[in-house]
A and B are shown apart, each in its own frame.
Chain A
Amino acid sequence: MQVSLFITCLVDTMFPQVAESLVHLLQRQGIKVNVPMSQTCCGQPAFNSGYFEEAREVAKTWLDAFADSEYIVTPSGSCGAMVTHDYPILFKGDLKRLALISKLAQRTYDWTQFFVDVLQIEDLHAQANLVATYHPSCHATRLLGVTDAPYRLMSQVRGLQLVDLPLADQCCGFGGTFAVKMPEISTAMATEKVMHIAETSAELLLGQDMGCLMNIAGRMNRMNTKIPVLHLAEFLDRASSGIPILSGERRV
């Protein structure tokens, strides 16, 4: 089994440790990880802004990079959904590419889905004695259908107490270009999300998409709410390899 890592541009440039953790987790299962170096971005920023022509060109780069991949695994449900949900809209009428997209869409997984559904592994032998809460990202949940996989992985972590996040399924206000195009609304949404996180007794916020987590953490900093934020892959990597979770260097 060979896995091609769909890094996503945000993780590549700003949060490389998340992709690194994911590689670790995959390697620990004896999986060969391949990183197509011609990948850049999936095209989502342009697509969501309505620049379909620009998005298509960038998407072609992605399609070329992953054309022969056996499994495509990503740490971002949103970028995954761009391929499975948005590419068919973007390439409407382009039958040749639609066939490729349909093939690749079936091979594209949010990494939690890949572990739970494909590898059928839920126990990553992790331990973390702390109280955490979890923000399920909208695109992963609603467009990619990632529902219980993250929870299954978390439920196997020894010592972890997961507390419910009020109105968890409500968007954090990131929305890609929305965050800068409609900053007031986006900020109001992020503020509410932070308040809900603060209402819990959690010592840590977990999530599955760095866009959302960057937005939430950025807002937390300005609201002086000091709750650490981690991507689930990084958390599980740390928790299964003895790296301290709440201390040491963290980048969000």
Chain B
Amino acid sequence: MNPQFNARIKKAVVDKKLRRAVQVATDRLRIKKADAMTKIDMEEWRERGREIREHVVSHLDYYLAQLADNVRQRGGQVHFCMNANDAVQAIKNIVQTHHATKVIKSKSMVTEELQLNHALEQDGVDVVETDLGEYIIQLAGESPSHIIAPAIHKRREQIAELFSQVANQRIASDTPSLNDYAHQVLREKFIGADIGITGCNFAIAETGTICLFTNEGNGRMVTTLPDVHIAVMGMERVLPSLADLEVFMNVLPRSATGQQLTSYVSLVTGAREPEELDGSREFHLVILDNKRSHSLGDPDFQEVLHCIRCGACLNVCPVYRQIGGHAYGSVYSGPIGAVLTPLLRDDPEAADLPYASSLCGACYEACPVKIPLHDMLVKLRARNVERGHTAPAERFAFQLYKKTFTRAKNYRVAIRSLRTVQKWFMTNGEFHSSLPVLSAWTKTRSLQGMSSQTFRERFQKGLVIDQISTQISETAKRRGVDGSDS
């Protein structure tokens, strides 16, 4: 500690009036509104967050090597895995070496990507998710529908039903009863587990530390009680130093849950020290590529690796709001899922996800590291066009669009012809609701026809003259309108 600071403290603490001073300060703070303390200039911090993520991702080779060295220095084992299969195999090997039968997990999206639970269960291993939301969906046999709140789609009555079945007795559906039941069941699982598996919010390269942000405390349980701890991370989740962690301690919880800080931030560096009496005795870090590297060096998509999985883009997305997470049919949902999934998974279903966006830009606005998700969605659509993945009718339509709109003359002719034919498809100035193609609009929304004259036709005929201006000033009138055709 800074000696001057220490001296000041010493001076202050001998002051008999200290406690009175605290009271005075407290009262002042209360008046000044304590919530001022929780506020930061988010713009400034977002920009710094972006800068740090950009730096790490563009030097990922250096930082991954540094991370691995430091983890090993602290007695940990590092497993680099090119794909999901390799990662599952690496984890299975650890489980088998320890003859482990009971595995507990804290929330990890990357293990969802591996479908790890299923793989371990096939080997007869009892795998229990311990995050309350994850536990609920595990009982329901479902997958998470939100990065941060995996059981957001479940109603309390459904949860009570699930718990009651497992408990073989009626569990009430109020939050405290459900909570108490989960606490009791999972506590037994924590105590008896052989291996704990966690994800990794960030890995600090300079110290070989993995950081877990949790609220429930299960992350701490999973890393404290079983003898073996396996942390699984997407290869991009690195930060250079502890100093950088401070930035993300400020932006991650605020973006994810609106908290100033989560209840727990756990920094785990290797296995327990030899003199320690609790904590895991063995530490493994699984580093997964799984096609993440395909986005490296790609100017259009590298930024997707800046993501810190806060879920803020899901929370603000009007599409996610209407359809929920499962509709995306992928591990990652919402705007980040619509971008990330087609980059990690090259199949037609994934290729369609970027269309599930109105491109409103709310995701970009909310992103704590400023990933231009709305632009990336468009670029992924362009990739589909380039690869010939779009429908022939659509391609034809845009060919026609190009022909029509590249010359004003073609445009005028097209408008005139459409205006002539539109009345055949209309009643009371509105298009029929059953027309092919147009019905995608008209089934649920009325659509009026084109105006009898376009603006430019009226303008050229001199019909667009403001009466008021004319009255006010003759000069204004002379200067006012100047149509130019080219």
> In the complex, are the beta carbons of B398 and A43 less than 8 A apart?
no
- Alpha-carbon distance A116/B406, docked complex (angstroms): 33
Nearest CB of chain A from residue B197's CB, rounded to whole Å: 36
CB closest chain-B residue, reference A171: B360
Residues of chain B lying within 8 A (CB to CB) of residue A171: 318, 358, 360, 362
Closest B residue, CB atoms, query A23 = B464
Is A170 close to B, CB under 8 A?
Answer: yes
Residue from the list A143, A178, A189 in contact with B361, Cβ < 8 A? A143
A15 at the interface (CB under 8 A from B): yes
B357 at interface by CB-CB < 8 Å: yes
Q: How far is the CA of A248 from the CA of B191 in the complex (A)?
A: 76
Interface residue tally for chain B (C-beta within 8 Å)? 75
Residues of chain B from 398 to 453 with CB closer than 8 A to chain A in the complex: 398-399, 401-402, 404-408, 411, 415, 437, 440-441, 443-451, 453
Is B356's beta carbon under 8 Å from chain A? yes
For chain A, residues 18 to 53, give those with C-beta under 8 angstroms from any C-beta of chain B: 19-20, 23-24, 27-28, 30-41, 43, 45-53
* Choice from B375, B406, B437, B448 contacting A251 with Cβ under 8 Å: B448
Check: B248 CB closer than 8 A to any chain A CB: no
Contacts of A28 in B (CB 8 A): 466, 468-469, 472
Pick the residue among A9, A179, A217 that contacts B405 (CB under 8 A).
Answer: A9
CA distance A27 to B467 in the complex (A): 10
Given A61-B405, A222-B445, A251-B448: A50 touches B484 (CB 8 Å cut-off):
no
Q: B residues 349-405 with Cβ under 8 Å of A?
A: 355-362, 364-365, 375, 378-385, 390, 394-395, 398-399, 401-402, 404-405
| Residues in B neighbouring A185, C-beta threshold 8 A | 319, 322-323, 356
- Contact yes or no, B407 A14, CB < 8 A: no
B355/A178 in contact, CB under 8 A: yes
A161 to chain B, nearest CB (A): 25
B482–A34 touching, CB < 8 Å? yes
Residues of A contacting B329 in the complex (Cβ-Cβ under 8 angstroms): none
Does A127 sit within 8 A of B, measured CB to CB?
no
Chain A residues whose C-beta falls within 8 Å of the C-beta of B323 in the assembled complex: 185, 188
In the complex, what residues of A have CB within 8 A of residue B170's CB? none
Contacting pair A35 B468 (CB below 8 A): no
Give the contacting residue for B479; candidates A19, A32, A169; CB below 8 A.
A32
A189 touches B322 (CB 8 A): yes
Complex contacts, A240 vs chain B, CB 8 Å: 468
Given that A7-B455, A37-B408 are contacting pairs, would A179 and B402 also be in contact in the complex, using a CB cutoff of 8 Å?
Answer: no
User: A218 within 8 Å of B by Cβ?
Assistant: yes
Complex Cα gap A2–B480 (Å): 10
Contact string against B for A residues 174-203, beta-carbon threshold 8 Å, 1 for contact and 0 otherwise: 111011111101111110100000000000
**Contact status B381-A48, CB under 8 Å:** yes
Measured between beta carbons, the chain B residues less than 8 angstroms from A31 are 480
**Closest Cβ of chain A: how far from B153's Cβ, in Å?**
16
Q: Which of B379, B407, B466, B484 contacts A24 (CB 8 A)?
A: B466
Chain A residues within an 8 Å CB radius of B380: 50
A46 with B360: CB separation less than 8 A: no
Instruction: Choose among B355, B364, B384, B408 the residue that contacts A40 (Cβ–Cβ < 8 A).
Output: B408
How many Å from the CB of B450 to the closest CB on chain A?
5
Interface residues in B450-483 by Cβ distance below 8 A to A read 450-451, 453-456, 458-460, 464-469, 472-473, 475-476, 479-483
One of B358, B381, B450 near A174 (C-beta < 8 A): B358
Point out the residue from B321, B362, B465 that lies within 8 Å of A169, measured CB to CB.
B362
Asked whether B355 lies within 8 Å of A182 as measured between CB atoms, the reply is yes
**A30 & B479 in contact (Cβ 8 Å cutoff):** yes
In the complex, whether A158 has a CB less than 8 A from a CB of chain B is: no
The CA-CA distance from A45 to B485 in the complex, in Å, is 25
Interface contact B481-A173, CB-CB below 8 Å? no
**Is the pair A183, B443 in contact by a Cβ cutoff of 8 Å?**
yes
Report A167 CB to chain B, min CB distance, Å: 9
Number of interface residues of A (CB under 8 A): 80
Q: CB distance B455 to A20 under 8 Å?
A: yes
Asked whether B450 lies within 8 Å of A189 as measured between CB atoms, the reply is: no
Contact A15 B384 (CB under 8 A): no
Nearest-neighbour CB distance to chain B for A234, whole angstroms, equals 12
A98 at interface (Cβ–Cβ under 8 A)? Answer: no
What is the bound-complex CA distance between A241 and B469, given in angstroms? 10
Interface residues of A in 36-77 (CB under 8 A from B): 36-41, 43, 45-54, 57-58, 60-61, 65
Q: Which residues of A contact B458 (CB under 8 A)?
A: 16, 20
Q: How far in angstroms is the closest Cβ of chain A from B135?
A: 30
Chain A residues closer than 8 Å to B360, beta-carbon distance: 138-139, 142, 170-171, 175
Known: A142-B364, A173-B318. A49 touches B468 (CB 8 A): no
Contact B486 A46 (CB under 8 A): no
A47 to B377, CA, bound (A): 11
Evaluate contact between B406 and A46: CB separation under 8 angstroms. Answer: no
Q: Which residues of A contact B465 (CB under 8 A)?
A: 27
Determine if A49 and B394 form an interchain contact, defined as CB atoms under 8 angstroms apart. yes
Docked Cα-Cα span, A16 to B399, in Å, equals: 26
**Could you say which residues of chain A place their CB within 8 Å of the CB of B381?**
48-50
> Could you tell me the distance between the alpha carbons of A7 and B390 in the complex, rounded to whole angstroms?
30
A19 proximity list for chain B (CB < 8 A): 455, 459, 464
| A60 lies within 8 A of B486 (CB) | no
- CB pair A50–B405 under 8 Å, yes or no, is no
| Complexed CA–CA distance, A180 and B459 (Å) | 31
Contact partner, A52, options B362, B364, B385, B456, Cβ 8 Å: B385
Q: Are B358 and A32 in contact (CB under 8 A)?
A: no
Residues of chain B contacted by A175 (CB below 8 angstroms) = 357-360
In angstroms, Cα B439 to Cα A179, docked, is 11
Alpha-carbon distance A214/B451, docked complex (angstroms): 14
**Nearest CB of A to B429, in Å:** 9
CB atoms of B441 and A183 under 8 A apart: yes
Given A32-B480, A138-B362: A13 and B319 within 8 A (CB)?
A: no
8 extra A-B contacts, CB within 8 A, seeds A2-B482, A12-B455, A192-B322: A34-B484, A38-B486, A41-B405, A50-B385, A52-B385, A187-B445, A217-B446, A222-B446
Could you write out 29 A-B pairs with CB less than 8 Å apart? A9-B411, A13-B451, A14-B449, A14-B450, A16-B454, A24-B464, A24-B466, A27-B480, A32-B479, A32-B480, A40-B404, A40-B408, A45-B401, A49-B398, A50-B379, A50-B382, A51-B385, A54-B399, A61-B408, A138-B358, A142-B365, A171-B318, A186-B358, A189-B322, A190-B444, A221-B446, A240-B468, A241-B466, A241-B468
Rank and list the top 3 A-B pairs by shortest CB-CB distance, nearest first. Answer: A175-B358, A50-B381, A218-B445
